Amino acid sequence: MNSGARLVLLGRQGAGKGTQCVRLSRHFVVPHISTGDMLRAAVREGTELGLMAKAVIDAGNLVGDDIMIGLVAERIQADDARDRGYILDGFPRTVAQAVSLDEITASHPLDVVVDLVVPRDLVLSRLSARRVCRDCGANFQATGTEPSPWTCENCGGDVVQRDDDTPDAINKRLDLYETQTQPLIDFYGESGRLAQIDGVGSPDEVFARLTKAVEQRL
């Protein structure tokens, strides 16, 4: 078995982070830690965090840095992540989060930060066609020929559109990416930790580029 990895995946909304992290997690045998999935689980469970986060997420805004840093700090100290590493999807997405992540991981630093590069017009069309399984979170692309209701081929759950995949929320999220998250490209680039990978192509093609780039750095 390989010895795990400590990875961060950056990339615009719809760049394919979730899609590729599922595969990377199997490949490197490390947990896929998606802050979006953690927040959506809290919303489903009706926890205090979920009740607070729902309106923020649906409007396409960012949940506060302190809350997100606390969530991730706790998760990456769990046994599975501490021993073999992890793939972070959706965190950090502000400079304050990135600075805190460096502090939290000082004793076991990140191996590589990948920026999955996909142009804005292409992510817009991917997001408007995205459908997700409410139960297992699997992603699908709608073609207009699906049955209604649509059930998940993996687990039989309902396949629906995410509440934040409305045109207004998508545009808001993409604007926030430019102002809040794009600065992380310089932050990691200047410290020599960044690999920029072309995210255009089939999921298999993108995965092959990603594993090659990560393995070169491990």
Instruction: For residue 139, state whether it binds ligand AP5 (rule: CB under 6 A).
Output: yes
CB of 166 to ligand AP5, least distance (A): 12
Residue 153 token pair? 């081929």
Q: Which residues of 197-209 are buried (b: 16+ CB within 10 A; e: fewer)?
A: bebeeeeeebbeb
Residue 25 sits in the site that holds ligand AP5 (CB under 6 A) = no
Q: Which does 156 bind (CB under 5 to 8 A by kind): Mg ion, ligand AP5, none?
A: none
Q: How far are the Cα atoms of 86, 150, 218 from residue 155, in angstroms, in the given order?
A: 25, 12, 34
Integer CA distances (angstroms), 65 to 21, 55, 69, 105, 206, in order: 22, 16, 6, 17, 30
Q: Please report, as residue ranges, which positions from 3 to 22 form the binding site for Mg ion (by CB under 5 A).
A: 18
> Which is nearest to 115 in space by CA: 199, 208, 13?
199
Name which of residues 99 to 138 contact ligand AP5 (CB under 6 A): 126-127, 130
Q: Contact positions toward ligand AP5, by CB under 6 A? A: 11, 13-19, 35-36, 39, 56-57, 60-63, 68, 90-91, 93, 97, 126-127, 130, 139, 141, 164, 173, 201-203, 206
Q: Contact positions toward Mg ion, by CB under 5 A? A: 18
